[in-house]
Amino acid sequence: MKKKFIVAITGASGSIYGLRLISALIKFPVDLFVLISNSGRQVTAHETDFKSGPIAGYLEKAGEVFHEQAILTEVDPSDFFAPIASGSFQHTGMVIAPCSMNTLAAISSGITDNLIHRAADVCLKEKRTLVLLPRETPFSLIHLKNMTRAAEAGAIIMPPSPGFYTRPATIENLVDSMVARALDHLHLNHDLSPRWGS
Ligand SMILES: Cc1cc2nc3c(=O)[nH]c(=O)nc-3n(C[C@H](O)[C@H](O)[C@H](O)COP(=O)(O)O)c2cc1C
């Protein structure tokens, strides 16, 4: 069966993590569902060259090459009728990169105000892979407790805090070292970033 993944970009700083992850995933023969929150759109426009419009158009313009079997579907985060809103829709994992404290709070308390929250909630109830890249600094006790609650419910908490042992030469190298760890949790074989000992 073709692997299906969900990637969400929310309104924390670090939209580039989500964009690089999506760029990496479309190199595989996968069905990819992408959600971008309203704040995610605004922060992405502020921090990156992706200003507006469909993400597929942005990727093509940026010269990203899709695997011939990759299909990217952008889903409106207010569309609760989308297939990914249901536990009966099977997929292989979801990553929220970056994950705002707002979205983290919603997930850790089971509030599903938009389709990003709902799809994450479904991952937890169906025991599917959910990787969160929560971004804020410093973390308050509320943030830390929300991360603990999400982890206890099965989420993988992966703060975007890249290692420097690969001696990254560019911001893209640095970001990709985190994206590589997320791809590992999606069980994809890749060589996006050097591995220690290789
Ligand atoms: C430029 C900018 C940077 C932001 N960075 C963060 C951040 O790093 N972490 C965070 O939790 N919220 C951050 N926010 C605030 C979120 O965008 C805001 O809480 C929003 O409600 C999140 O909504 P969402 O979870 O639906 O994306 C930032 C906002 C702006 C405008």
pLDDT band at 1 (very low <50, low <70, confident <90, very high): confident
Q: Is the pLDDT of residue 166 over 90?
A: no
Which residue's alpha carbon is at the smallest distance from atom 30 of ligand 1? 43
pLDDT band at 141 (very low <50, low <70, confident <90, very high): very high
Residues 27 and 192 sit within 8 Å (Cβ to Cβ): no
Return all residues near 139 (Cβ < 8 A) that are at least 6 apart. 147
Which residue's alpha carbon is at the smallest distance from atom 12 of ligand 1? 12
- Pocket test of ligand 1: the residue of 41, 46, 100 to mutate, having most ligand atoms within 8 Å of its CB, is 100
116-125: pLDDT as tens digits: 999 999 999 9
Task: Enumerate the domain spans of the chain.
Answer: 3-185
- Was domain 3-185 assigned CATH 3.40.50.720? no
Cα-based distances in Å from 7 to 26, 77, 97, 165, 167: 11, 12, 7, 27, 27
In angstroms, how far is CA 7 from the centroid of its own chain?
A: 4
Q: What does the DSSP 8-state code read for residue 139? A: P
88-104: pLDDT as tens digits: 999 999 999 999 999 99
**Whole-angstrom distance, CA of residue 190 vs CA of residue 73:** 22
How many CA atoms are closer than 13 Å to the CA of 183, on its beta-carbon side? 25
27-74: pLDDT as tens digits: 999 999 999 999 999 999 999 999 999 999 999 999 999 999 999 999
Q: Indicate the pairing of strand 71-74 with strand 3-9.
A: unpaired
How many CA atoms are closer than 13 Å to the CA of 193, on its beta-carbon side? 27
Q: Which atom of ligand 1 is nearest to the CA of 40?
A: 27
Name the average pLDDT for the chain.
97
pLDDT band at 197 (very low <50, low <70, confident <90, very high): confident
